[in-house]
């Protein structure tokens, strides 16, 4: 496919998602095929230890617009999303969690804002019109709110929810932002939003539907601790000029 003809690139990072991945890829294929534009789905396997890799291989052979990327070992969600975005050819690039906690249909709320001057449009679970079908446990909600308060000191005071795994970028903005991304873990969302702001891109937050996943891949103690330390790393990277345009 020629890059100028690809309208939308959907990037899906995956790690040990054999139970749900194929079903959700089929959902995305059915939905996007009905749109009438050219699209691609980039599925990044992050060194899965189950048969996720085999499923991705099989579905990519059956559908030419599915592009697989296989990490040699587990590198982290941030690394996987970056790999997918930099390989994408679309005019717009959307990344979504593999569990589709935000249904693929919600992209219709994001894409129209690009014609209104925005460069980055992100899904949000924390706005007035957000619809939470199934809530997280109270302690996860509390930690998420605390994390977002800390993220505000990085220039994200106007963002209510940095961690919703449903974000869309114009192709040009995505390439410039993700080339500067340095973090490999779950805190990469904060990093790319901070980079977007520093590069002068217009960011819009849009309320979406969201359903909590009971078997979340985020480990409450280990990953949350790492994310708080990554906030410090982002701050240091800002001070060192690592996110300056070049």
Q: 52-58 — which CB contacts under 8 Å span 24+ positions?
A: 52/14, 52/15, 52/16, 52/17, 52/18, 52/21, 55/18, 55/21, 55/22, 56/14, 56/21
Quick one: how many helices (H) and strands (E) in the chain?
8, 9
Cα angle 145, 148, 151 (rounded to 5 degrees) comes to 155
Residue 3 has pLDDT above 50, yes or no: no
Instruction: Supply the pLDDT for residue 145.
Output: 64
DSSP string, 38-84: -EEEEEEE-S-SSSHHHHHHHHHHH-TTEEEEE-SS---HHHHHHHH
Residue 138 has pLDDT above 60, yes or no: no
Average pLDDT of the segment spanning 138-144: 55
pLDDT digits (tens, 9 = 90+) for 42-70: 999 999 999 999 999 999 999 999 999 99
Average pLDDT of the segment spanning 210-235: 73
pLDDT digits (tens, 9 = 90+) for 185-196: 989 999 999 999
pTM, two decimal places: 0.90
Residues contacting 150, CB < 8 A, separation 6+: 228, 231
Domain boundary assignment for the chain:
3-239
Average pLDDT of the segment spanning 122-135: 89
Residue 100 has pLDDT above 80, yes or no: yes
DSSP string, 86-117: HH---SEEEEE-TT-SS-GGGHHHHGGGGGGT
- 6 conformational bin, left if phi > 0, alpha if psi -120 to 50, beta if neither: beta
Instruction: Supply the pLDDT for residue 1.
Output: 41
CA 240 to chain centre: 26
Instruction: Supply the pLDDT for residue 142.
Output: 55
Is residue 74 within 8 A of residue 15, CB to CB? The reply is yes
Instruction: Supply the pLDDT for residue 215.
Output: 58
- Higher-pLDDT residue of 111 and 135 is 111
Residue 80 has pLDDT above 80, yes or no: yes
Q: How confident is the model at residue 2 (pLDDT cuts 50, 70, 90)?
A: very low
Whole-angstrom distance, CA of residue 53 vs CA of residue 165? 21
| Cα-Cα-Cα-Cα dihedral sign, residues 51, 24, 60, 48 | negative
Residue 221 has pLDDT above 70, yes or no: no
Supply the mean pLDDT for the chain. 90
CATH architecture of 3-239: Alpha-Beta Complex (3.90)
Whole-angstrom distance, CA of residue 15 vs CA of residue 192? 21
Q: How confident is the model at residue 245 (pLDDT cuts 50, 70, 90)?
A: confident
First-to-last CA distance in the chain?
29
Instruction: Supply the pLDDT for residue 156.
Output: 84
- Higher-pLDDT residue of 87 and 1 is 87
């Amino acid at each position: 496919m020629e890059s100028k003809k690809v309208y939308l690139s959907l990037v899906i990072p995956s790690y040990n998602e054999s139970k749900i991945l194929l079903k959700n890829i089929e959902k995305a294929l059915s939905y996007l095929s009905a749109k009438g534009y050219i699209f691609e789905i980039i599925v990044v396997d992050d060194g899965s230890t189950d048969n996720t890799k085999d499923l991705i291989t099989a579905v990519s052979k059956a559908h030419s617009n599915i592009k697989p990327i296989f990490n040699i070992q587990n590198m982290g969600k941030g690394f996987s999303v970056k790999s997918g975005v930099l390989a994408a050819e679309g005019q717009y690039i959307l990344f979504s969690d593999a569990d589709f906690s935000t249904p693929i249909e919600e992209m219709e709320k994001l894409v129209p804002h690009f014609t209104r001057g925005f460069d980055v449009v992100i899904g949000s679970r924390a706005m007035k019109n957000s619809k939470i079908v199934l809530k997280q446990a109270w302690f996860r909600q509390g930690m998420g709110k605390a994390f977002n308060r800390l993220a505000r000191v990085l220039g994200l005071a106007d963002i209510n929810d940095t961690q919703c795994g449903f974000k869309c970028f114009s192709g040009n903005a995505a390439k410039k932002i993700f080339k500067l991304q340095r973090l490999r873990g779950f805190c990469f969302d904060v990093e790319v939003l901070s980079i977007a702001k520093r590069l002068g891109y217009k960011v819009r937050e849009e309320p979406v539907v969201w359903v909590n996943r009971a078997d979340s891949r985020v480990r409450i103690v280990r990953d949350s601790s790492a994310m708080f330390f990554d906030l410090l790393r982002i701050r240091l990277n800002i001070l060192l000029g690592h996110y300056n345009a070049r």
